Structure 1
């Protein structure tokens, strides 16, 4: 080869190897599309077994819609009501019987906890973490321990403590407005003069 400099290495790759690599790429693309179609449901799979290419932007909207659960206090009815219904089932079915002892002066609990926005917010956060950390597929064997240490214990300390949202509630008496803070003037706004 007279046109190449002397110090250039010679790479001789058989032509068949390029064809093999391209065949593998095509097979991988077909299998990936087939797995995606099967994962979306049999009704979504096209006839004939060949997967169709997604419409532009379809994949992005699917990810945005259901990727993460929303924080309950940011929801409006009826989404708030649906989320609260699920939270009530979890609190009354799992948390209360499994983790809450008899309320006392040092460890308050309000049977109308769902009327305290702070309690709803903290319990919802603990419930979201519980859903994630009790799934062995995503968190392994240590998930429940992490949930107890990082989510449940701090939430219960805050909720049931003497300064928590149930501080004004006693057995048989419920008070929601007992700890409403007063308005604090903002340092960023100035009164008009």
Structure 2
């Protein structure tokens, strides 16, 4: 057998990026399969309960709390949880969003330094922050996650917030207004029938 010379051709740069994206996707899917397999195995290995309880189902709502893994939408939280979530959101907005993405406010691009007093702004920024948490982790979204976050979440959020008809419409430098955007009542569907 003779040594054959290696072929002389150029590999497109985009091919390397595609390969890296595929590697990240395989890693993410492998981790997901491992988690699903582990949970399925754990469920299959659970020892049977008392024979007296075998025909009874658990009361609704008891197991639901254990399954909840992600923070719910901020406007649905009650006071202590809302305050904690708002503090974390303020830290992210003031530490990441404001210095990295917001230029000087203007008539075409408004911003209120008391944004956390605008319910609409809190709701939009919280949703954007939740997406940021998910889409900036290469283990779960590959290397394209940040690009998707910018395109699908940040840009539309800032467009809506900073628009001349957005929640900061009445706020100008040195002046803050929230009354212009507050709804008169919160829909009862958000809080449940008993609220």
Query: 1:78-119 CA distances to partner (integer Å, 9 max, x unpaired)?
Result: 000000000000000000000000000100000000000000
Deviation at 1:69, TM superposition (A): 1.6
Q: TM-score, normalised by structure 1?
A: 0.63
**Cα distance between partner residues in 2 of 1:156 and 1:78:** 28
Show the 5 A alignment for 1:78-117: 78-117=80-119
**Residues matched between the structures, number:** 135
**Cα distance between partner residues in 2 of 1:106 and 1:123:** 19
In the alignment, which residue of structure 2 is the partner of 1:64?
A: 67
Q: TM-score, normalised by structure 2?
A: 0.62
**Cα distance between partner residues in 1 of 2:65 and 2:181:** 41
In the alignment, which residue of structure 2 is the partner of 1:154?
A: 156
**Cα distance between partner residues in 1 of 2:122 and 2:48:** 40
Deviation at 1:54, TM superposition (A): 6.5
2:143 corresponds, among 133, 141, 151, to 141
Show the 5 A alignment for 1:148-187: 148-180=150-182
Question: Using CA pairs below 8 Å that are at least 6 residues apart, which structure has the higher relative contact order?
Answer: 2
**Cα distance between partner residues in 2 of 1:55 and 1:62:** 22
Question: Structure 1 or 2: larger helix share?
Answer: 2
**Cα distance between partner residues in 1 of 2:184 and 2:82:** 26
2:119–2:182 contact (8 Å) kept in structure 1: no
